[in-house]
Chain A
């Protein structure tokens, strides 16, 4: 027992002096960008019902740090900010004119494997724009994210952009059964393009669509690369999505050199419904944040509103500063 007085539980740490000062500085810079862009801060409760995490991004619920309160309700330490924001906006919808712009900063807690070397407390900072439609809201949120990064001392940061609709449109045009779709998804998640091609062929998918899937699986680049894929796409949903990305780059000339269209990254397709962002620090070869449009999440909370947002890992920002 004595050892537990001066020790820390596995997966947790204290953040000291210079590191703490660095985080404070980054947070202050972010706060000033958020404030001038019209985003208002919220501090969501650190404790939620575990059930909050049964909506939206799957896998969070499994990893939530859970406990019982005195009334035996199953609770969790905050495991993600976005569901909390969705809960708050839904509850206060009548008082808040749309669109709602909020930002947040604080710790989230997730179980990690013992001896995996991963922390169980993460620090996140991010923003959400709820009730705003693409393309305007997408441009606004990406612009805010890039400003935050550049203002707080990450001059070389870049963003990989994708759109969930491109792949979804293609897959929907295949007419596959649920189990077949799962296999196709699994090959895509692994980026095993050979297995994907073979499976699509076995499923009787025609050569033209297979060629489109293969073009997507290779598309990483600027507007020209995007245009190359656009010319081969023949379903409306994918074509609209590509047009949305082209528009994004057009509307944000300031960031155009930092935008890479990466249509190969199709993780979390169940969660995102539109644009998807991955923020990267080239100097450290590290991912520092993610974001995107998730129009179906608010509906699960009972308010049918479009939403787009991003979240940075303060831990990663601290390492890359």
Chain B
């Protein structure tokens, strides 16, 4: 019992989609009674153990081996540069990471643009690849108001529909990355919990690619 594979689920925007996908793969996550539950809980059939974590922490847990596998957005994964396997692109939580700015700001004017973002590492790599010198301002939330308040000239942030950008008077300048959720697996767990982990991979791979059902 103790050696069931431990899998991290992301709190927040991905959670419902991840639970739905697992459900379609035959792994039923019981709803939390009164919104509270034990830190670690099994699925309805007791095949795997799950733990709920903030997405940004999931790559660290999985890389270290404290947790065997996890579901996390590729945005967070790239930012953390975790050394883990990514056996399945789950195709959920699709969105884009974009460079956006208020009207009048262009990428070419980037002599020393200040760019606010929750993804400093990803942003830095993006600008370096374009040989643009910018100043990154790392923020933890509501990045889109940074230009309005004069903290930054532009932002690198997630866009799902583009509505938030529009409401804040900004437009997209360029795509930084396409984002979707990935299954990530610890390198040692792939060997030591091989049967469990491979079973999980097969279940998810099958539901994503061969039997997509009512994919959103």
Contact = CB atoms under 8 A, between A and B. Distances in A.
Interface of A: 116-117, 160, 190-195, 220, 260, 262, 264-265, 267, 278, 280, 282, 285-287
B191 A280 contact: yes
Given A285-B65, A285-B193, A194 B185 contact: no
Contacts of B185: 191
17 contacts: A116-B60, A117-B64, A191-B85, A192-B87, A192-B89, A193-B87, A194-B88, A194-B89, A194-B205, A194-B209, A220-B191, A220-B194, A260-B191, A262-B191, A280-B191, A280-B192, A285-B193
Given A117-B64, A285-B65, A286-B65, A191 B191 contact: no
Nearest to A287: B188
A262 B60 CA distance: 25
A191 B188 contact: no
A145 B200 CA distance: 33
DSSP majority for the A interface?
mixed
B87 A282 contact: no
B192 A285 contact: yes
B86 interface: yes
B91 to A, nearest CB: 10
Most central of B188, B205, B209 by chain A CB within 10 Å: B188
Contact of B188 (A117, A260, A286): A286
Nearest to A190: B86
A100 to B, nearest CB: 31
Contacts of A267: 187
A60 B181 CA distance: 31
A313 B147 CA distance: 49
B189 interface: yes
B57 to A, nearest CB: 12
Nearest to B63: A116
Interface residues of B, number: 20
B160 to A, nearest CB: 23
Given A117-B64, A194-B209, A285 B189 contact: yes
Given A116-B60, A285-B65, A190 B85 contact: yes
Contacts of B205: 193-194
B88 A192 contact: yes
Contacts of B85: 190-191
A267 B188 CA distance: 13
Contacts of A116: 60
Nearest to A116: B60
Contacts of B60: 116-117
B190 interface: yes
A126 to B, nearest CB: 19
Contacts of B88: 192, 194
Contact of B86 (A160, A191, A282, A287): A191
Nearest to A267: B187
Interface in B56-80: 60, 64-65
A117 B64 CA distance: 9
The 5 tightest CB contacts between A and B, nearest first, are A190-B86, A191-B85, A285-B192, A191-B87, A287-B188
Nearest to A288: B188
Given A116-B60, A117-B64, A220-B194, A285 B87 contact: no
Given A117-B64, A285-B65, A286-B65, A191 B89 contact: no
Interface in B16-64: 60, 64
Given A191-B85, A193-B205, A286-B192, 12 more contacts: A117-B64, A192-B86, A192-B89, A194-B89, A194-B209, A220-B191, A265-B191, A282-B192, A285-B189, A285-B192, A286-B188, A287-B188
Contact of A285 (B86, B89, B188, B209): B188
Contacts of A262: 191
A45 B193 CA distance: 39
A58 B191 CA distance: 24
Contacts of A260: 191
Q: Max chain A CB contacts within 10 Å: which of B64, B85, B191?
A: B191
A262 B191 CA distance: 8
A200 to B, nearest CB: 15
